[in-house]
Homo-oligomer: A and B are copies of this chain.
Amino acid sequence: MTSPTASPALALDSEILARIRCPDLLTRIATPDQAASLIHDGMTIGLSGFTRAGDAKAVPLALAERAKRHPMKLTVITGASLGHNTDKLLYEAGLLARRMPFQVDDTLRAAINRGEVMFIDQHLSETVEALRSRQVGPVDMAVIEAVAITEDGGIVPSTSVGNSASFAILAPKVIIELNLTYSAAMEGMHDIYIPAKRPSRTPVPVVTCDSRVGTPYIPIDPAKIAAIVITREADSPARVATPDPATTAISAHLVDFLQNEVKKGRLPPSLNPIQAGIGVIANAVLSELNRSDFQNLRMYSEVLQDSTFELIDSGKLLYASGCSVTLSAPWAERVFNNIEAYRDRIILRPQEISNHPEVIRRLGIIAINTALEFDLYGNVNSTHVGGTHMMNGIGGSGDFARNAYLSIFVAKSQAKSGAISAVVPMASHVDHTEHDVDILITDNGLADLRGLAPRERARQVIAHCAHADYRDLLSDYFERACRERGGQTPHLLSEAFSWHERYTRTGQMKP
Contact B398 A198 (CB under 8 A): no
Contact B202 A489 (CB under 8 A): no
For A450, the chain B residues whose CB sits under 8 A away are 130, 135-136
Contact A455 B115 (CB under 8 A): yes
Given the interface contacts A135-B266, A203-B204, does A357 sit within 8 Å of B497 by beta carbon? no
Q: Which residue of B lies closest to A390 (CB)?
A: B488
Residue A456, interface by CB 8 Å: yes
Mark the stretch among A51-59, A118-126, A186-194, A247-255 that contacts chain B.
A118-126
CB distance from A139 to the nearest CB of B (A): 12
Contact of A485 among B388, B430, B488, B493 (CB under 8 A): B388
Q: In the complex, A358→B98 CA distance in Å?
A: 30
For A486, the chain B residues whose CB sits under 8 A away are 113-115, 388-389
Mark the stretch among A331-339, A359-367, A461-469 that contacts chain B.
A359-367
Contact B134 A266 (CB under 8 A): yes
Residue A494, interface by CB 8 Å: yes
Contact B405 A402 (CB under 8 A): no
Residue A199, interface by CB 8 Å: yes
Contact A119 B488 (CB under 8 A): yes
Contact B493 A500 (CB under 8 A): yes
Contact A435 B394 (CB under 8 A): yes
For A358, the chain B residues whose CB sits under 8 A away are 203, 357-358, 361-362
Contact B435 A123 (CB under 8 A): yes
Given the interface contacts A135-B266, A199-B363, A266-B134, does A453 sit within 8 Å of B487 by beta carbon? no
For A265, the chain B residues whose CB sits under 8 A away are 134
Q: Which residue of B lies closest to A431 (CB)?
A: B433
For A387, the chain B residues whose CB sits under 8 A away are 489, 491, 493, 496
Residue A356, interface by CB 8 Å: yes
Q: In the complex, A134→B405 CA distance in Å?
A: 11
Binding site for B on A (CB under 8 A): 98, 100, 112-115, 118-123, 129-130, 133-136, 195, 198-199, 201-205, 207-208, 264-266, 268, 272, 356-358, 361-364, 379, 383-384, 386-390, 394, 398, 402-403, 405-406, 428-436, 438, 450-453, 455-456, 481-482, 485-491, 493-494, 496-497, 500-501, 504
Q: What are 19 A-B pairs with beta-carbon distances under 8 A?
A: A100-B451, A114-B486, A120-B451, A123-B435, A130-B451, A135-B406, A135-B450, A198-B363, A201-B362, A357-B358, A358-B358, A384-B489, A398-B402, A402-B402, A433-B433, A493-B497, A493-B501, A494-B501, A496-B497
